[in-house]
Amino acid sequence: MHLSSELSGEVMLDYELLLNLALMLLCYAYVLITIFVSGRLDKILKISRKTSRKFLHAMIGNLPFIIPFFTYNTFPLNFPFFVAAPFIVLTFLASPYSPFKNFTEHFRELADITEEGHQLGLVFYAVSYTFLALFFASKPYIIAAGVLPMAYGDAAASAVGERWGKRRYRLFAGKSFEGSAAMFLATFMSLVISAVYFSLFYALSMFGNIFVFLFVAFVAAIAEGFSPLGFDNLTVPFFSVLAFLYFGGGL
């Protein structure tokens, strides 16, 4: 009887591990397909490479919504971390700073998007995502608090600022008040939507966090406004999560 119980536990453990591995491979497939599609959007829809890059940012930003389905999310089997970490290497090797120039031929779509934008912007994106996954994989709503402002907020700021940004300001890089306002609104809305989703898995109070989301959106907009080049992919997630935790959104 005892032996049977042990065997049942081992089978269940193996099944759970395989499920996490399958989910990790699904995430890899999602990211690679998104990179492939983003790299061809300019030809399919006749849009700019900058817009393609923002599309990639936004779509990759959806990954925190998959994390609640991982059951291995702590050291040493932190699968959300395993999902994110390889893309630091991948995005660097696809950048102009890669020591292996032939590598870019195998990831031409990603390389093209990288070269058109801030050359290390996608690397910084992967670093931020990996760092958050390392420490907060068991609480993906905290990861979302850092990733969503970077994904949807920054994409909205870029789109609105480029098309309607008339009131310009310059701190370390040229920005617009219209773009910063779009950053604030898109960040706030994405956090509210994420709270509704994550409340299905965790004991979160959406209404109790409304003021937290407003403050995080404000901090994210300020961080984006002060950040030069692609450094907003580091500063926005860092300060957004810091504000989220400080005001108790992560508890």
| Cα 119 from Cα 96, distance rounded (Å) | 7
**Residue 1, pLDDT above cutoff 60:** no
Q: Which of 144, 137, 157 is nearest to 61 (CA)?
A: 144
**Residue 53, pLDDT above cutoff 90:** no
Burial grade of 111 (CB within 10 A; 0-12, 13-18, 19 or more): buried
Asked if 220 and 183 touch (Cβ cutoff 8 Å), the reply is: yes
| Cα 48 from Cα 110, distance rounded (Å) | 14
Asked if 161 and 214 touch (Cβ cutoff 8 Å), the reply is: no
- pLDDT, the chain, mean: 85
**Residue 118, pLDDT above cutoff 70:** no
Q: Is the peptide bond before 228 cis (omega within 30 degrees of 0)?
A: no
**Residue 13, pLDDT above cutoff 90:** no
**Residue 17, pLDDT above cutoff 60:** yes
Q: What is the pLDDT of residue 103?
A: 64
Average pLDDT over residues 127-132: 96
Confidence of residue 106 (pLDDT cuts 50, 70, 90): low
Q: How many residues does the chain have?
A: 251
Asked if 83 and 129 touch (Cβ cutoff 8 Å), the reply is: no
Residues 167-211: tens digit of each pLDDT: 887 776 778 889 899 999 999 999 999 999 999 999 887 667 899
Residues 54-86: tens digit of each pLDDT: 888 899 999 999 999 999 998 888 999 999 999
Confidence of residue 132 (pLDDT cuts 50, 70, 90): very high
Element (H, E) at 168: strand 168-170
The Cα angle at residue 50 between residues 49 and 53, in degrees rounded to 5: 85
Distances (CA, A) of 196 to 58, 108, 206, 212, 250: 19, 37, 6, 14, 14
Kindly tell me the sign of the dihedral angle through the C-alpha atoms of 95, 53, 124, 165.
positive
**Residue 28, pLDDT above cutoff 70:** yes
Confidence of residue 162 (pLDDT cuts 50, 70, 90): confident
| Cα 206 from Cα 204, distance rounded (Å) | 6
Confidence of residue 126 (pLDDT cuts 50, 70, 90): very high
Burial grade of 223 (CB within 10 A; 0-12, 13-18, 19 or more): buried
**Residue 101, pLDDT above cutoff 80:** no
Residue with tokens 């937290």: 212
Confidence of residue 245 (pLDDT cuts 50, 70, 90): very high
Domain boundaries, the chain: 2-246
The Cα angle at residue 16 between residues 11 and 17, in degrees rounded to 5: 100
Mean pLDDT lowest among 157-161, 221-225, 228-232? 228-232
> Position 119: which residue type?
Q
